[in-house]
Structure 1
Amino acid sequence: MRISTLTMYNQNVSSMNRQQTEFMKIGQQIASGKRIVNISDDPQAMTQAINISQSKSVSNQFNDARVGVRNSLSQEESVLNTVNDVYSRAKTLMVQASSDTLSDADRASVSSELRGLYESLIGLGNTRDGNGRYLFGGYQDDTAPFVRDGAGDVSYVGSPEVREQQVDGERRMAVGHSGDKIFRSVHSSAGYLADAGLNNEGTLQFDGINIVDSNHPDFGQAYDIEFADNAGQMQYRVNGGAWADYSSPTNVALGGIEIELEGAPADGDTLRVARGQDNNMDIFRTFEKALAVLDNPATTDAEKAQRSNTLRTVMRELDNGMDNVLTTRAEVGARLNELDALDTIGGNRTLAYEQALSDLVDLDYVEAASQYSVRMVGLQAAQKAFVGMKDMSLFNFL
């Protein structure tokens, strides 16, 4: 077999180019810190790395979503804390206003402060978050959820449903609560309260409502008590039942509960006794009722009885409102705790993804440095061999 000068030349050039390519590949790996610079370096590992990178990106999106939800819930928790303070102060004012030692001027001062609390409560109900959305508007978070009508009464025009955010692969979380849930609802455990309305003409007053038998088959129902004058004898009946004689004071049994009544009702007076969830649940109506009786001085015994009954009802409704706010705050706290747990899980998952990616594509610098030295020696040897060979020719021996 004849070996020509051209063949030897081509072989040495190919060897030198091959060594140059391997040397440059190692240099690229060291410069990038990655074992896989091109997909062709390891197609299978690169495919796995792409899938893991996508999963990591999704996990990062969930993390960003949790940050937004946490900010909204934290702001809601702060607002609810202020709402609870408003209820507490209003309850204190109602206790003061119920005292017979206060003059009409004193009650006017109480009314002035209560009206300020009422206005602040409306403002709290229309709180906006950092993005300008109304915190308690539900789906309709671009307009104020609480508005005044022509009579000056506050009504809710937001949505009862709230936005949800995907905070993890299988978990959607409500971002907050609607204003209807917070300001126009009570907890299902809210107890009984009585409401004599504003149209009674007698001096009937109610006091405590005592639970006698919570297992009574009629426990939990609402009761309407009517009073009528029958030939000089005041009588009452419950839910349209049989008439019974009334005397003051008396305890009226109502399906597992008793209510203490005193005073002289007038013919046609009524009294409603119901669970909190079956009675007035709108806290703005509660404030409006209190302001209505405090702004109008009571001169007759009937007006004083009406004021006393209204203030008692208002205090119980404020208690129900505070219980509802505390329950809602507990829900917010539970969601914040869940977000913390999901952050921990998400952080561990991200670390696992990063470790898997590192195992697939990251460079082992010790091994790469060794390979770099080997490839450099190989390249230098190929170059030296080429230099020694390029001047060799049979014509030198002629």
Structure 2
Amino acid sequence: MRISTLTMYNQSVSSMNRQQTDFMKIGQQIASGKRIVNISDDPQAMTQAINIGQSKAVSSQFSDARVGVRNALSQEESVLNTVNDIYSRAKTLMVQASSDTLSDADRASVASEIRGLYESLIGLGNTRDGNGRYLFGGYQDDTAPFVRDVNGNVNYVGNPDVREQQVDGDRRMAVGHSGDKIFRSVHSSAGYLADAGLTNQGTMQFNGINIVDSNHPDFGQAYDIEFADNAGQMQYRVNGGAWTDYNDPTTITLGGVEVELEGAPATGDTLRVARGQDNNMDIFRTFEKALSVLDNAANTDAEKAQRVNTLRTAMREFDNGMDNVLTTRAEVGARLNELDALDTIGGNRTLAYEQALSDLVDLDYVEAASQYSVRMVGLQAAQKAFVDMKDMSLFKFL
């Protein structure tokens, strides 16, 4: 078979082009640090790498979400710590105001400080986060959750439900708590407290509430006690039951609970004994009740008894409020701990993704350097062969 000069020329050029293509490909791999530069290099590995890259991006989104949730929870924890300090200080001031050694001017001074704490608490209830949203407004986080009505009372106008954020594949976490949960609720374990009617006219006072039998079948119920003078004998009845003679002092047993009373009640006076969750749970109302008796001078024995009863009830309500805040702080701490655990898991997962991607697409530089040298020698050999062959001619041997 006759081999033409043109055929030899084309074969040599094709060989050089092939060698040059291989040489440039290994050069691109070394420059990029990737074994797969184009999808055609390894379609199966590239498909797996794309899937892993998408999973890694989702994991990164979860990580960013956890940062936002952690910031919100950390801010809430800081606010709750301040709220607890306010409750503690307010209770201390009420204990001080309950003393008979204080003058009305001294109580007015105490009331002034309590009012300052009250205003501070309202401000904390309307705290905003870093994005300008109200921290305790629930879903309705674009308006202040605590506002005053025409009578000056503070009301909650936010939403009781809170936003949730996806912080991992199968975990949605609540971003904080609503103001209703923090400032207008008590823990289910809140104990009994007594609340005398604000219209009481007698000098009856309650001293203590003692739990004597928590297994009593009626334990946990609420009890309304009313007093009346029947034929010169002061009597009381519980929840509309039979009348019983009242002696000063006396202890009334109510379904496993004992209430110690002293003083002389008047006809129509009332006393409610109930668990914290069945009584006033609004801490702002507690402040308002305390301020109402501290702002007005107590000139009669009945007014003094009313002041003592109101302050004692307020102190018990502050105890319940502090327990609720501490429980909420514990929930916040548990969520922060969970976020730390999810960060650890997410970090390990991201590391596994990166390792898998590296195994699929990253370049082995030792092998690539060896291939680079081989391709360079091959290209040089092809070029040298072409130079030698193109100068071959029979005329040189004639």
**One fold, TM greater than 0.5?**
yes
SS in 2 for 1:272: strand
2:271 aligned residue: 271
For residues 267-316 of structure 1, the C-alpha deviation after alignment (integer angstroms, 9 at most, x for no partner) is 01100000000000000000000000000000000000000000000000
SS in 1 for 2:70: helix
Q: How far 1:392 sits from its partner (Å)?
A: 1.7
Q: How far 1:238 sits from its partner (Å)?
A: 0.2
CA distance in 2, matches of 1:283, 1:393: 109
CA distance in 2, matches of 1:164, 1:389: 76
CA distance in 2, matches of 1:159, 1:377: 75
8 Å contact kept, 1:237–1:243: yes
1:144 aligned residue: 144
Q: How far 1:207 sits from its partner (Å)?
A: 0.9
CA distance in 2, matches of 1:197, 1:93: 23
Under a length normalisation based on structure 2, what TM-score does the superposition of the two structures give?
0.99
For residues 232-274 of structure 1, the C-alpha deviation after alignment (integer angstroms, 9 at most, x for no partner) is 0000000000000001101001001000011000001100000
For residues 144-176 of structure 1, the C-alpha deviation after alignment (integer angstroms, 9 at most, x for no partner) is 000000000000000000000000000000000
Q: How far 1:396 sits from its partner (Å)?
A: 4.2
For residues 209-254 of structure 1, the C-alpha deviation after alignment (integer angstroms, 9 at most, x for no partner) is 0001101110000000010100100000000000000011010010
For residues 81-106 of structure 1, the C-alpha deviation after alignment (integer angstroms, 9 at most, x for no partner) is 00000000001000000000000000
CA distance in 2, matches of 1:393, 1:197: 126
2:77 aligned residue: 77
Q: How far 1:394 sits from its partner (Å)?
A: 4.0
Structure 1 consecutive aligned stretches of length 4 or more whose deviation exceeds 6 Å: none
2:3 aligned residue: 3
8 Å contact kept, 1:5–1:393: no
For residues 52-89 of structure 1, the C-alpha deviation after alignment (integer angstroms, 9 at most, x for no partner) is 00000000000000000000000000000000000000
Under a length normalisation based on structure 1, what TM-score does the superposition of the two structures give?
0.99
CA distance in 2, matches of 1:390, 1:157: 93
Q: How far 1:4 sits from its partner (Å)?
A: 1.1
8 Å contact kept, 1:287–1:314: yes
8 Å contact kept, 1:248–1:262: yes
CA distance in 2, matches of 1:220, 1:279: 12
Structure 2: unaligned runs, 5 residues or longer: none
Q: How far 1:395 sits from its partner (Å)?
A: 4.8
Aligned residue pair count: 398
Q: How far 1:393 sits from its partner (Å)?
A: 3.1
For residues 1-21 of structure 1, the C-alpha deviation after alignment (integer angstroms, 9 at most, x for no partner) is 211111111111111000000
Q: What fraction of aligned residue pairs are identical, expressed as a percent?
A: 90
8 Å contact kept, 2:197–2:269: no
SS in 1 for 2:271: strand
Q: How far 1:197 sits from its partner (Å)?
A: 2.2
Q: How far 1:391 sits from its partner (Å)?
A: 1.6
Structure 1: unaligned runs, 5 residues or longer: none
CA distance in 2, matches of 1:269, 1:207: 17
SS in 1 for 2:137: coil
For residues 172-229 of structure 1, the C-alpha deviation after alignment (integer angstroms, 9 at most, x for no partner) is 0000000000000000000000000210000010011000110111000000001010
For residues 3-43 of structure 1, the C-alpha deviation after alignment (integer angstroms, 9 at most, x for no partner) is 11111111111110000000000000000000000000000
SS in 2 for 1:28: helix
8 Å contact kept, 2:62–2:168: yes
Q: How far 1:135 sits from its partner (Å)?
A: 0.2
* Equivalent runs, 1:103-122 vs 2, <5 Å: 103-122=103-122
CA distance in 1, matches of 2:168, 2:252: 55
Q: Cα 1:395–1:197, aligned 2, differ >3 Å: closer, same or farther? A: farther
